[in-house]
Structure 1
């Protein structure tokens, strides 16, 4: 009997992407609420409880409501909203975060799918704490750029309507209250909030995150090679992971570092650059904000939960 998958919010940006990724999967049964019943709470409850796995692609409050509508102990949940990312009882759905995280996801009933912005910084920062190269109280700033699809339907429609007149580089989060800060702090093992300064570019999807490090104030200043080795060792130890670490190199620029290069995939590539004389480093991650940053991660987590 095929596992039943219900995407609650299947007509939103992430939901549509997940439907597309699952369209050719003959090993699954995708169940959907009939159009005429889509706004009925009773219909949502019926389909949530009929599913083996429910994937929630909803605003936070609606996601919380969906969880409350599940009355059985068999439906597993993957929540793509921010509602449960640091909530007790929910496993964080970044399978490469730790060596055993994939096993944790596979055995969990409640998975909080990661946000797109935190995954790159978590991928580069968490291994450094584990290796003893970065203290938890080290000040952290995150910069980067993402495609406009990360802003959901309103931003997509706005950018498409403006075309070439749309902003090429639009900083946001200028109140320093970005919604992803709590999960970034928790899973990058930070003892206080980082500064997040994201931007939107005039391209649909893909992203680059950048974490600059001023290392000179540390008691032991790691070299760029030290940082790279810690990150590379972390991901090399994860069987079946989709995060790749680029070779350590001293280059002024790399054309391959393109925010759109992994669009349509669940891959991520991490880079380490450093100037040891200045005791400075840059940690970069490139991935698809709708792939590894959203729908791709959800499907990866679903497969882990199904044991496929």
Structure 2
């Protein structure tokens, strides 16, 4: 019998992207709710409880409500793409490349919290250096990033694409999260193994999908002997043997004139770079991904496949 998958919130941006990725799959059965009934709690609850895996593509409060609908039904496994459970200790963090045994933790878990798009890049860069002893746990990390506007969901898509929208945004690029209290910060701190919350400065560009995440570092404030090469080697060692996250060779990085935010649009992989000059005292760590790919829907499907392989 094919495993049954219900995407709660399938008509939203992330849900639609998951459906697209699963459109040609014959190994699972997709349970679906008509868009007109998406707010019908009774139908949603029935579909949630009929699934083998429920993928929640909902705002935080709605995700918490969906989890409550499944209380007492341990047969249904959950992937939550919202922020609601990303730092909860009883949820597996759905970044399979986080550690050597993280894929196995996801495979065996009933509750999986899909990472945020920005944190996927930031944690993907920072955590390997923390585990290698190169980055001190109290280092004052800063994270600067730009995302495609689809990360803001249907509302922002309409604001960016429709000049007649009352909230139309004409800017080619804008900074937000100006209070430095962005909802992704706790996730970056905890899963980045940091003592101090990073300063996070996100922005949105006038392109639908894509993302650049930057973490600049001073080498003299890292472990003794840290260099462009040793930082790169630590990332290479961490991600060795898997196919989703690519650490770009130093030689290739040094020859690049620019990094294109949309290079991985439509793909579910991530590229990591270490930029700087040999003998210099600064480096810039950069993650390149699709905000809706490895940053959201692609990661959800990756986690679902791991869970179904148990």
TM-score over 0.5 for the alignment?
yes
Contact 1:59 1:81 in 2 (8 A): yes
TM superposition shift of 1:35: 4.6
TM superposition shift of 1:167: 1.6
Instruction: Confirm or deny that 1:65 pairs with 2:93.
Output: no
TM superposition shift of 1:104: 0.6
SS in 2 for 1:292: helix
SS in 2 for 1:244: strand
- 1:269 maps to which of 264, 268, 271: 271
- The residue number in structure 1 matching 2:116 is 115
- Pair 262,41 (structure 1): closer, same or farther in 2 beyond 3 Å: same
- The residue number in structure 2 matching 1:50 is 50
- The residue number in structure 2 matching 1:202 is 206
TM superposition shift of 1:72: 1.0
CA distance in 2, matches of 1:12, 1:251: 36
Residues 204-229 of structure 1 deviation map (CA, whole Å, 9 limit, x = unaligned): 01001000002223461400000000
Point out the more displaced range, 277-286 or 50-59.
277-286
SS in 2 for 1:33: coil
Superposition misfits of 4+ residues, deviation over 3 angstroms = 34-37, 162-165, 249-253, 275-278
The correspondence of residues 34-183 of structure 1 with structure 2, limited to 5 A, is 34-35=34-35, 37-70=37-70, 71-162=72-163, 166-183=170-187
TM superposition shift of 1:241: 3.7
TM superposition shift of 1:60: 0.3
- The residue number in structure 2 matching 1:222 is 226
Contact 2:134 2:223 in 1 (8 A): no
Residues 251-304 of structure 1 deviation map (CA, whole Å, 9 limit, x = unaligned): 677256211111111110000012354421100010000000000000000000
Structural RMSD (CA): 1.9
CA distance in 2, matches of 1:15, 1:102: 22
- Pair 28,277 (structure 1): closer, same or farther in 2 beyond 3 Å: same
The correspondence of residues 293-304 of structure 1 with structure 2, limited to 5 A, is 293-304=295-306
CA distance in 1, matches of 2:139, 2:242: 31
Point out the more displaced range, 20-29 or 239-248.
239-248
Contact 2:146 2:203 in 1 (8 A): yes
CA distance in 2, matches of 1:171, 1:64: 29
SS in 2 for 1:213: strand
- The residue number in structure 1 matching 2:25 is 25
- 1:281 maps to which of 280, 283, 288: 283
SS in 1 for 2:250: coil
CA distance in 2, matches of 1:260, 1:150: 13
Aligned residues: 306
User: Please, which runs of 5 or more residues in structure 2 have no aligned partner?
Assistant: none
User: Please, which runs of 5 or more residues in structure 1 have no aligned partner?
Assistant: none
TM-score, normalisation: structure 1 = 0.95
Contact 1:223 1:274 in 2 (8 A): no
